[in-house]
Amino acid sequence: MTRYRADDRVEGLVMQRVSFYGDYETILNMHPLRCELACRVVKPHRFVLSRGDALGFTVHPKYKEKGHRICVVDTGLDLFHYLDIRSPAKSKAFIEEKSKLWIGGSERNPKPLEMHDYYYNQFPRQFVMAYRGGHPAPMQPRIAAHQTRLDLISPRWRTKLTAAERKLLLRTKLIDLFGWRVGPGRSSRTIVGSHRRDQGAFTRPDGES
């Protein structure tokens, strides 16, 4: 933020979101919840509108005037999204309330599920993967106290995909193949530089380092 504060070519910063599910060692392996580039830092002196469920933004010279895609730098940093991690007691309360709202069940949850089965049925096995990295220091006490652990080789995982999930799986594979060019939020941002480790030094499209 300090580096680009006075650089008018840069209007925002993007980070790669990593969504944890069930415990602190499991992440969702699907888009847009896995490793999407999310713009979460914008310059406050610009008139900015969120686009695509706040996956990107457009910048406007004045209110209601036609704007342009926000120009961002890929920071190469991870943004941890602790999506669905609860204690057993809170998980039980959450599932009971959800069952009240979804009378008769839903496509993903056709009937009320027991607390632990919820995690194995909410998303199919194809959409989760192990995480072996670290966590921010302030999270360590909470992680140590967490009691639920998912078993990625358990036969309890749902493996049958719904029609919508089959489409999502195909989209995920396309994004893995072609990268951010086909990913969520692509239509409302212009990446003008990157600090990603696999891309070497920071470079701009015009070749300036």
Question: Encoding tokens for residue 149?
Answer: 């652990």
Chain centroid, CA 125 distance in Å: 18
Question: Encoding tokens for residue 91?
Answer: 């998980």
Question: Encoding tokens for residue 84?
Answer: 């669905």
Task: Give pTM, 2 decimals.
Answer: 0.75
Alpha-carbon distances, residue 66 vs 48, 59, 174 (angstroms): 11, 9, 31
Q: How many other CB atoms are found less than 10 A from the CB of residue 145?
A: 8
Q: Tell whether omega for the bond before 124 is within 30 degrees of 0, i.e. cis.
A: no
Question: Which element (helix H / strand E) includes 101?
Answer: helix 88-101
Mean of all residue pLDDT scores within the chain: 78
pLDDT, residue 200, reads 37
Residues 102-118: pLDDT tens digits? 655 454 554 555 555 77
